[in-house]
Amino acid sequence: MPKALVISGGGSKGAFAVGVIKQLHQQFSTFHFDIVVGTSTGSLITPLAATEEFDLLEQLYTTQTTQNIVLKDNLGNRLSQHSIFDANPLWNLITHYFTDDIYNKLMTGDKQIYINTTCLQTGDITVYTNNKNPAPSDTYIVRTFQSADHFRRAIMASACQPVFMPPIQINKQVPGEAHPEYQYVDGGVREYAGVEMAIDNGATVIFTILLSAETFPPTPGEFQTLFPILGQTLDIFTMDVGKNDIIIPQLYNKGLLYINAVKNKMKSAGIDQATIDSYFNITLPDNPFKNKVPLKLYIIRPKEPLNGGPGGLVFDPSTMKQMLVTGQSLTGEFLASLPPSETSEWLV
């Protein structure tokens, strides 16, 4: 029963996801994920969650300030630049936390990670992974890490919200690369939560942490300056992309549940398994249900909007510590609502 953890984008709101992971680990110390998928801030969490560096992960998401992530400047000074903010501080953090040792653990370990980015030149979702034989896809491009620097560049690109932060040439130093000039940005532009990657690579139990709230209440007051307008637009955009990312897997799973119910009814009617299989194992160029079983999809998200400013680009240690506590609390409530028989399946 391959298990996956999928973490959406959300900037400093990633502290909520860290709280979810902390609570899961505290209640089920032997519970491990086989696949971890991250987008934007999720890409920063993914490698440390996969290598089970939980203390380091909590340190990363409870000690940073905005100045540790981006440097703000007068907008007029940035009009000829790639972005409104200077993101060199974030790159310095990435090189500090995501060491060659972490990379080597990922490349030699048994857990798969997937980091979502968007290519500016082609518009393609491009997924970077430590899996040397990832499942092929018609909807996104998959690339395997070639070096520790390649790995760090992919994380940086996934975390860089376009316009606010600069695009990254992930493949610039990869030997034989056809398009080293291509630039990559936040995977949330196309894929807010990478549930599809988890399904494609065999996950049947999927925990999805969304950093957007269940509701999107009106923001009081009038937007009068550029940054709040950009931030609000980004929040609305990611909310809509996030809905689509969840709706499609849910519809897919409903199809699987329906097919499974029909198969069980046919079996109850006395039809032998070989005949049932002959009806459903139809050879098609693209049969999305062939040899698939119904999924267990769990979604954990805040009930109300988290703080963190527009686009989650405000990093305040005290606020992020509270987000982490909120993630822990809601996860505790979620786990308590499940029957013990269901949670015991996760430990198999």
Residue 240, both tokens: 């809509």
Q: Is 186 a catalytic residue?
A: yes
User: Which among 99, 84, 129, 69 is positioned nearest to 315, based on CA atoms?
Assistant: 69
302, 307, 313, 317: CA torsion to nearest 10: -100
Instruction: Tell me if residue 40 is catalytic.
Output: yes
Is residue 260 a contact partner of residue 293, using CB atoms and an 8 Å limit? yes
Which of the following is catalytic: 8, 40, 158, 212?
40
The length of the chain is 348
- Strands 125-129, 112-119: pairing is antiparallel
Give the separation between CA 189 and CA 122, rounded to whole angstroms: 13
Q: Where are the beta strands (DSSP E) in the chain?
A: 3-7, 35-39, 112-119, 125-129, 141-144, 184-186, 205-209, 296-300
The active-site residue out of 34, 186, 200, 245 is 186
Query: Which positions are catalytic?
Result: 40, 186
